[in-house]
Structure 1
């Protein structure tokens, strides 16, 4: 490689992918330019880059989706190329056209490829001419809802409604009966219009036992095209990939060769340049057959698994192709070694229907070890931004075979601690230990079938006791400040014999007698147990502390962080917030419960997540029926419909575009027949009383005596 690469490259993205691209730029000696919105001013990619430029407010349309702002930043910093990452403008021809007009290289395919493959209808017709099989369905421009409803009868149910623009599963709706189709079309059009500015839809036959298999391709501008093997992406939730691996455990060698060749034909059909991914649907019942779904004209989230089995840096390959270099290898030179699996870490709560979660990263521990890689976009001390995608990081593991890779991934997830926000790490560990996943028996519906009814996991006795002893130790380190304060200190001191100190932790009382290093503890009405606690401060800023709890002769290790009146503990990938409640907090909650009981005849609809109101389908004062959609809230690429719990008159308190907090009241229904349920979100149960959302818990020293 003797050609000159770029001197300065602007990364038009955020989060873990911006960090990932910047690290390769740094390794190659290329000056990096980051861009950021106001919400991301403290983000790690801003600090990691050589130069950072503010784009605008938090709203993506005023920052990361603003082509003019990105080009202005490129000109001001002397960038010779723009790397779009994935998402945002990565597949938008407008950015590629603007770069071309400004004489700046776009690290991606040409405008023709973006236009053809950016429209799934056009793409299906284009690849069919190159002898690539496609899924049966109807894919025509300009179909209205009536035409799609009529076509669905010819295609046959079940069908999949898909937006023609965009990707990532956004807006897709699985429809099993004709009665479901009209609402699915309305929802898909709304999401597609908001996300892609294009509400064109088409239909495909829903394949039984579908497996999602994609092929990574590289193509230079000199006619060279190679594929780098396939990735299995069948573990999905609501059409969003969760766990990916390379190679697929489903395909045999002949099918692998045929599907790779088909992917190269897809790339050739549009004169592709750069790194791209061709996605296929394969029935688990007939793995020798595959159907083209779409081509993603960008780097994929799951590209690290391909890097680990091929030894190639795909970002470097993108840069070299964009600089005009030919591929330095042919198809015969590509070999796959071992197996790699990736898990996506999201700020979401699996125990509340995977609703997005916010918070601030108090402390962070990322896993290390042989074959383990972490591509992250968070750091201790920064807020988790809810304006964009909820993905925080990716944990990837390589092994000599699939069994070793999965075992290393489970260990890596167990060693991941993100304190300050609820995440899906513990759930991911459970998922990759599932017997069907371990055996390679997967399809795209496995997660939705297996985990649809996930219930909250209560705090264990070990967690409650550890939190109580931590609070006890904190109290002991804080001496009384006033005369007579000994009576109020958490020492258990009394005239006569000592009295147990009681700590209320999320409604469970833990009584502690003695010192933290040697105490008798009682959880609720259970029998006393002997326990001891040792605390280790964090070794460095941003790392969690360590709490070693010995209970009944067994020692458990917890990662630890404190936040006002909340103690965060993490073990085996599960981070839990344990809130200490004082008398004032308990009284406020009891009063709130009484108020909710008095207004039970007027159910309130509360937002199940912090987000933005994207639709209010009913007018204030209108009559609604049970199940009618009243408000639609979106956060982190997820829509949530709040529906009327009973027939009655609705009072709407928000409008489209409003920002709402977790558990904020967005509407109320004055029911005709008073329900007996308390005032919670009608469509999703809430785990704590809504009034707690803004309550400031007591400091750790607060104890009940």
Structure 2
């Protein structure tokens, strides 16, 4: 199933869908997931032949099924498929594509790829080389726009400085400060430093992450603005030199520098500031002869909302572009295509009007109560919300495998209302109606975030999410537990029936069977990620006992390959496992044999990925909290740390591929700490991943 949108396509100021005026006949979309689906949607509306590309992992992905034509470009790893410029250009040549739309992420801001397309006689739907080169380097970008009068954050932007020189110069910036890679985006590698003693380690971490992610470890330092608001301005520029802005987006709700919820317009800015920040964004675009759709990002002080500072310019479409489309009526993908084809903008700045309010929530396959670690697995159920003012941009379908190869964002749920209050209410309702079973998601967290008083009032800043209480597993509502128990009983009855060929009678094999009735069966179950939180539930697969479980008949229930039952009902979701009493007894006995030590000595991978660093030698003595192994997957690096003091025994090396829950090391407790009474650090652990913490965020 491919969800497009349940609201009309934005076209209030667009050039229309007259096929005779289509800018191209054949366009290749050099991306995947929801953004590929989004671009193909506009191509189809304009009557343009759409060409998808795919890796082996995406052979039957929604964007492939939706496109008019599809080309395989390589194996699953992005470096061998979506990030390989030569493969994309070859696919465009082979299919006769006149233009390539890069979406966002991957090669969308790759100057070399843009040049390769042009050298092959193919139009790159994006800006020219100067904009890509200048704005792709944060240091050059800051210096460049500052020369055009655009205000910038105080800092040090000198690519010739090494770590020692940066440390020496840091005092001129002042603490706290922010260490930022010059290349890349999405917060990848950014480090907050509050004291000079922390700077050396932060520089080393930032360089390592930047080098691995972008192939460029150049760093810059910026003054950290406390309680900042992240506000960005959408611009459009044509080949004739016309530049307009389409208002701003508030992107202050971030986790680890990664946007979570975005809205348009910002609840902070007044009309005067909106005009000034829009003009500054247009000046930044003009300074590099910009062409197409771009976004200029600013920091705005919450204490002084009339002051703003340039951060960077994203020379591509943004993830959050739908909120701008909904409040302006402009199809940004259509505008990109028409500008790339040499057409002038069809409207002026005076014709741009912001009407109503739009809010977008990014739905990620991740586990909030495990530090928002990405989640992988098959999509067992997917249902998109519908209703007035609800739009869904998604690129998933039931049966699809969510892998560790790509970004964990799987959908965007967007609401539109006549005002902010209505948009918030509609977004919460839409998230409640969004069903994703088979992988963990952040939907419950998003709803909790929307309910925060500061969010409701519009009093936002980039640190709000970090100040929220740590995410935890909510107590499953009774309806979810009952629906899961009923499914366990039914599946157990089906298994017994399938195994009964000619032997046992109902007296010998039917659990809960009594003359004249089927009585409930006691089921011992627990949340999938917290198998020690046991519950005994009386349930029946069918008959009067099952009918008595009011309120769960409309529950959506699926079973995964491991036997876990996933349930969605009335806006809530949960996954459960059935625990047989023998297994429960064995677990209790194993804990007793460990001397009652609560912490698990086995350190396990939080998800499938690649070992990128090992911080201890085999046989080293370590303390609880020490980093042992770093694992990278879905553009994130996670550190697995020791859960107790002891001697480390490694099970992996740098470069190894690991699966979820695979043991990567074992901590053999020191004799003196094997007694929990002598080890005050020992604390109960709900699962094997409590020692894993996210180290770096995703990127667009």
TM-score for the superposition, normalised by structure 1: 0.88
Determine the structure 2 residue equivalent to 1:667. Answer: 665
- Map 1:668-683; keep pairs closer than 5 Å: 668-672=666-670, 673-675=672-674
Matched, 1:302 2:326: no
- Of 324, 339, 347, 2:357 maps to 339
Call closer, same or farther: CA 1:69–1:591 in 2, change over 3 Å: farther
User: Helix, strand or coil: the match of 1:68?
Assistant: helix
- Name the CA distance, whole Å, in 2 between partners of 1:8 and 1:676: 70
Determine the structure 1 residue equivalent to 2:466. Answer: 448
User: Helix, strand or coil: the match of 2:653?
Assistant: coil
Determine the structure 2 residue equivalent to 1:125. Answer: 143
Determine the structure 2 residue equivalent to 1:218. Answer: 236
Q: Is the 8 A contact 1:417 1:571 kept in 2?
A: no
355-364 vs 605-614, which moves further: 605-614
- Name the CA distance, whole Å, in 1 between partners of 2:516 and 2:392: 57
Deviations 1:365-412 (A, max 9, x none): 110001100000110011112211110000000000000011100010
Deviations 1:53-106 (A, max 9, x none): 122222211111111111111111111111111111111111101111111100
Determine the structure 1 residue equivalent to 2:558. Answer: 561
For residue 152 of structure 1, report the CA deviation from its aligned partner. Answer: 1.9
Determine the structure 2 residue equivalent to 1:428. Answer: 446
- Name the CA distance, whole Å, in 2 between partners of 1:223 and 1:587: 74
Deviations 1:194-214 (A, max 9, x none): 111101111111102100000
- Map 1:94-243; keep pairs closer than 5 Å: 94-243=112-261
Matched, 1:471 2:488: yes
User: Helix, strand or coil: the match of 2:330?
Assistant: coil
TM-score for the superposition, normalised by structure 2: 0.88
- Name the CA distance, whole Å, in 2 between partners of 1:684 and 1:663: 20
For residue 630 of structure 1, report the CA deviation from its aligned partner. Answer: 2.0
Q: Is the 8 A contact 1:490 1:501 kept in 2?
A: no
- Name the CA distance, whole Å, in 1 between partners of 2:466 and 2:274: 28
- Of 481, 486, 504, 2:524 maps to 504
Determine the structure 1 residue equivalent to 2:692. Answer: none
For residue 499 of structure 1, report the CA deviation from its aligned partner. Answer: 6.6
User: Helix, strand or coil: the match of 2:513?
Assistant: coil
Call closer, same or farther: CA 1:600–1:201 in 2, change over 3 Å: same
Q: Is the 8 A contact 1:55 1:64 kept in 2?
A: yes
For residue 677 of structure 1, report the CA deviation from its aligned partner. Answer: 7.2
For residue 250 of structure 1, report the CA deviation from its aligned partner. Answer: 0.2
- Map 1:595-610; keep pairs closer than 5 Å: 603-610=601-608
Q: Is the 8 A contact 2:323 2:359 kept in 1?
A: yes
- Map 1:338-487; keep pairs closer than 5 Å: 338-451=356-469, 453-474=470-491, 480=497, 481=500, 482-487=502-507
Structure 1: where are the runs of 5+ without partners? 520-530, 534-548, 691-705
Q: Is the 8 A contact 2:598 2:684 kept in 1?
A: no
For residue 466 of structure 1, report the CA deviation from its aligned partner. Answer: 2.2
Determine the structure 2 residue equivalent to 1:540. Answer: none
- Name the CA distance, whole Å, in 2 between partners of 1:498 and 1:571: 26
Q: Is the 8 A contact 2:596 2:676 kept in 1?
A: no
Matched, 1:83 2:101: yes
- Name the CA distance, whole Å, in 2 between partners of 1:647 and 1:689: 16
Deviations 1:122-160 (A, max 9, x none): 000000011110001111113222122222222111111
Deviations 1:462-506 (A, max 9, x none): 322222233344556677424224245454135899875211112
For residue 589 of structure 1, report the CA deviation from its aligned partner. Answer: 4.3
For residue 458 of structure 1, report the CA deviation from its aligned partner. Answer: 2.9
- Name the CA distance, whole Å, in 1 between partners of 2:33 and 2:135: 25
Q: Is the 8 A contact 1:607 1:666 kept in 2?
A: yes
For residue 454 of structure 1, report the CA deviation from its aligned partner. Answer: 2.1
- Of 31, 35, 38, 2:53 maps to 35
- Of 291, 301, 305, 1:287 maps to 305
Q: Is the 8 A contact 1:117 1:294 kept in 2?
A: yes
- Name the CA distance, whole Å, in 1 between partners of 2:377 and 2:581: 25
- Name the CA distance, whole Å, in 2 between partners of 1:513 and 1:560: 15
User: Helix, strand or coil: the match of 2:479?
Assistant: helix
Call closer, same or farther: CA 1:310–1:463 in 2, change over 3 Å: same
User: Helix, strand or coil: the match of 1:288?
Assistant: coil
Matched, 1:532 2:547: yes
For residue 642 of structure 1, report the CA deviation from its aligned partner. Answer: 2.0
- Name the CA distance, whole Å, in 1 between partners of 2:408 and 2:674: 35
Q: Is the 8 A contact 2:599 2:683 kept in 1?
A: no
- Name the CA distance, whole Å, in 2 between partners of 1:84 and 1:241: 21
Structure 2: where are the runs of 5+ without partners? 1-14, 527-532, 690-700
Q: Is the 8 A contact 2:648 2:668 kept in 1?
A: yes
57-66 vs 595-604, which moves further: 595-604
Deviations 1:619-672 (A, max 9, x none): 334454554432111222222112344555433222222221222111233444
189-198 vs 275-284, which moves further: 189-198
- Name the CA distance, whole Å, in 1 between partners of 2:539 and 2:214: 61
Q: Is the 8 A contact 1:601 1:671 kept in 2?
A: no
Q: Is the 8 A contact 2:295 2:314 kept in 1?
A: yes
Q: Is the 8 A contact 1:505 1:579 kept in 2?
A: yes
* Structure with bigger RCO (C-alpha 8 Å, 6+ apart): 2
Call closer, same or farther: CA 1:209–1:598 in 2, change over 3 Å: closer
User: Helix, strand or coil: the match of 1:286?
Assistant: coil
252-261 vs 35-44, which moves further: 35-44
- Map 1:9-24; keep pairs closer than 5 Å: 9-24=27-42
Q: Is the 8 A contact 2:377 2:402 kept in 1?
A: yes
Deviations 1:561-592 (A, max 9, x none): 23353221113443211222345654664566
User: Helix, strand or coil: the match of 2:629?
Assistant: strand
- Name the CA distance, whole Å, in 2 between partners of 1:685 and 1:35: 48
Q: Is the 8 A contact 2:154 2:222 kept in 1?
A: yes
Q: Is the 8 A contact 2:480 2:569 kept in 1?
A: no
- Name the CA distance, whole Å, in 2 between partners of 1:602 and 1:406: 42
User: Helix, strand or coil: the match of 1:169?
Assistant: coil
472-481 vs 244-253, which moves further: 472-481
Determine the structure 2 residue equivalent to 1:541. Answer: none
182-191 vs 324-333, which moves further: 182-191
Call closer, same or farther: CA 1:324–1:562 in 2, change over 3 Å: same
501-510 vs 554-563, which moves further: 554-563
- Of 250, 268, 282, 2:286 maps to 268
For residue 180 of structure 1, report the CA deviation from its aligned partner. Answer: 2.2
Q: Is the 8 A contact 2:363 2:409 kept in 1?
A: yes
Q: Is the 8 A contact 1:157 1:205 kept in 2?
A: yes
Call closer, same or farther: CA 1:328–1:600 in 2, change over 3 Å: closer
